[in-house]
Chain A
């Protein structure tokens, strides 16, 4: 089974990564390499995994995603997911990994989330003491 990954930079630092196919022992490195590349070159703030095209995942695939979350968080960025197919969601649920993820229903929800982040960032900037 194969895996292809497409990436869109929606806004500066906001990436939508869409893996298509199967994330398993033979393909996990494709996603892992792509994510590592984005982390080192892309200055990511938010990485959204659109899982709509992923129909199979094994524990090594889950490991890649959990590790990506950890790596991104070390760089001050977040990993979120959306469009999990039922069998994929079931795997995350069974290992009790879902609570640690922000899962979005659709792009609109992601846009609302990003707007909220930007709003909070602006507020924090405004609260800073004026520098002369």
Chain B
């Protein structure tokens, strides 16, 4: 099990994605699956980067756990406002309807590409759990 924690800023996106993808690439998975994992990670991380903390600074954490015989477990944690991406679209009321629909695309793609997605809130912590069958 490995963890990487960085400030929830756009510059952290690539390092956090690389953290996961470099490990996934060692597993020599079919190319589609590596793509799916990267896509889901990017959607969730950009959501957190844009919406979790509003005016203040905060971190985002990625936990990588490979369970042999089971699959890949990824947990993404932040300590921002309560936000269950499975239930809501990002609350941006300034964009028109078509753009808002596109904004919800990322969440929709996450649910389609990951084998299981769960959310829980503990105290001040949001945790999104992703599972990919390997």
Q: Which residues of A contact B112 (CB under 8 A)?
A: 94
B106: chain A residues at CB < 8 Å are 58-60
Which residues of the partner chain B approach A62 to less than 8 Å between Cβ atoms? 102, 105
- Minimum CB distance partner of A97 in chain B: B105
> Per a CB cutoff under 8 Å, which of A55, A56, A95 touches B109?
A95
In this complex, the interface size class of chain B, counting residues with CB under 8 Å from chain A, is 20 to 34
Q: Is the interface of A mostly helix, strand, loop or mixed?
A: helix
Contact pick for A95, options B10, B13, B35, B105, CB 8 Å? B105
**In the bound complex, how far is the Cα of B38 from the Cα of A55, in angstroms?**
12
Q: In whole Å, how far is B107's beta carbon from the nearest beta carbon of chain A?
A: 9
Assembly CA distance A58 to B43 (angstroms): 7
Q: Kindly state the separation between the CA atoms of A46 and B1 in the bound complex, as whole angstroms.
A: 50
**Which residues does chain B contribute within 8 Å of A70, judged by CB atoms?**
98
- Any A CB within 8 A of the CB of B46: yes
- Please tell me if A66 contacts chain B, counting CB pairs below 8 Å: yes
Which of B10, B32, B39, B108 is within 8 Å of A58, CB to CB? Answer: B39
Instruction: Confirm or deny: B61 has a beta carbon within 8 angstroms of a beta carbon on chain A.
Output: no
Which residue of B10, B13, B32 contacts A87 across the interface (Cβ within 8 Å)? B32
- CB-CB contacts below 8 Å: A59-110 with B: 59-60, 62-63, 66, 70, 86-87, 90-91, 94-95
18 contacts between A and B (CB under 8 A): A25-B46, A26-B13, A56-B38, A56-B39, A58-B43, A58-B46, A58-B106, A59-B102, A59-B105, A59-B109, A60-B46, A87-B31, A87-B35, A91-B39, A91-B109, A94-B112, A94-B113, A95-B109
B residues neighboring A (CB under 8 Å): 10, 13-14, 31-32, 35-36, 38-39, 42-43, 46, 98-99, 102, 105-106, 108-109, 112-113
User: Known contacts A26-B13, A60-B46; can you find 16 more A-B pairs with CB under 8 A?
Assistant: A1-B14, A25-B10, A25-B42, A25-B46, A26-B10, A55-B35, A58-B46, A58-B106, A59-B105, A60-B106, A63-B99, A86-B32, A87-B31, A87-B35, A91-B39, A94-B109
